[in-house]
Amino acid sequence: MFPSYSKKIENNKLDVEQKLLLTRSNLTVDLDKCTGCGVCIDACPEEAISEGPLGAVGRGKAKTSKIDVDAKKCSYCGVCNIMCPFDAIKLTVDGQPKLPIIEQQGFPQIAKDAKIDPEKCTRCVLCEEVCPRDAIKREVADVDQGHKASSTNTKYALEFKLDEDKCTLCGICAELCDAYKIDYKEPTPLTVKKIGKLNFDEKKCDYCQLCISACPEEAIKLERKELAAPKLSGKVDIDLEKCITCSWCQVICPRDAAKVEKLFEGEYELVTDRCPAGCSTCVEVCPANALYIPPVEEAGQKPGKLSYNKDFCMYCGACIKACPADGTIRMKRTKINWKGEETNLSKKISDKLMAEKTPKIKGA
């Protein structure tokens, strides 16, 4: 009988399916990406999405989905696919990505913009190391000037020249300095001289120039040349599918090379007097690493109160959904960065998303 519905969790993905006579729609939630932030819950026109045990899942105490989808209520329109800040929800129709809400009614996209200026970027590792979602792709080659830092003075390169016509492989330089080594064959009645090669190891040279003075044939020349500032070739990019616009890369970059436009802008307040001592669930679920508890630096010192860095907050709401206490957090989104013309539905969704959010005890 049609329509028919099914729901399952497989390969750490929640799959909700609707089968009609001629089409099959699948709404898939990637449980590794989903933070349970609740944006999709507010955005769903059919109120088909509800929250799961976010705190328990975040602490590893429950193996299930952070959200639940009612397969029969869902209209498989794709609004949740568009609105998810974490790219965790995908809608397919007959196996192909599709967004019926755009095709049938029109609907704006969320403007996710994050990029790195290749002219300013020095290809260092800072942004890659701090990104909480592994969204930085760093493809960097070796030092491009042909001189990898290895000697004690990396500002200079040593240029060794040997006049092979003058060199007799006498061995004086090798006796005086470990930077020289001679590979040779002993003289024979036929050759009457050493036949071989004088090798120079730049890593062992400290540019004392004793070899130049000692060489009886004046066959050695050694010059020290100043190097240009090392520059890594390659590129550093941001994977927009993984990026959550937390702005860690922008804040930490010493060259102002990273620019991020947040999906949401807003206001955030912690009411720490209401915060349950020793909980830290919000810290564990925050996808942007914006929440933290100051470390204890001295013996006997009391743990600091829960804090947050406003630069990194993306106003997703995961902390509010996970908090087990009443009124500990107040969050209000003041702007949604839409791309495209807004519709009546998108305005209605905006109103819900921009209403003040605060944790409430479930069932209270």
One domain for residues 97 and 118: no
Q: Are residues 214 and 245 in the same domain?
A: no
Is 148 part of any domain? no
Alpha-carbon gap, residue 340 to 337, rounded angstroms: 10
Where residue 33 sits, what CATH number does that domain have? Answer: 3.30.70.20
Residue 169 contacts residue 186 (beta carbons within 8 Å): no
The answer to whether residue 263 sits within a structural domain is: yes
**Residue at 333 is within a domain:** yes
Residue 346 included in any domain: no
Same structural domain for residues 219 and 253?
A: no
**212 in the same domain as 88:** no
175 vs 64: CA distance, rounded Å: 72
73 with 120, same domain: the answer is no
pLDDT at residue 186 tops 80: no
Tell me: do 254 and 121 sit in the same domain: yes
For residue 352, being part of any structural domain is answered with no
Other CB atoms within a 10 A radius of the CB of residue 358 amount to 16
pLDDT, tens digit, for every residue of 232-286?
778 999 999 999 999 999 999 999 999 999 999 999 999 988 988 778 889 999 9
- Within a domain: 231: no
Structure tokens, 216: 């009886």
Of residues 133, 148, 158, 20, the one with CA closest to residue 76: 20
Domain total in the chain: 3
Residue-wise pLDDT for 30-79, tens only, equals: 999 999 999 999 999 999 999 887 766 666 666 788 999 999 999 999 99
Asked whether residue 100 falls in the same domain as residue 120, the answer is: no
Alpha-helix residue ranges (DSSP H) falling in 207-273: 210-214, 248-252
Quick check: is 164 in a domain? yes
Same domain, 184 and 333: no
Residue 54 belongs to domain spanning: 4-107
Q: Is the distance from CB of 122 to CB of 276 less than 8 angstroms?
A: no
User: Are 83 and 208 part of one and the same domain?
Assistant: no
* HSE-up of residue 206 (Cα within 13 Å, Cβ side): 6
Residue 286 lies in a domain: yes
* pTM for this prediction: 0.75
The residue whose two tokens read 């089409």 is: 23
How far apart, in Å, do the first and last CA atoms of the chain sit?
40
Shared domain for 177 and 264, answered yes or no, is: no
> Can you give the C-alpha Rg of the chain in angstroms?
32
More confident call, 295 vs 165: 165
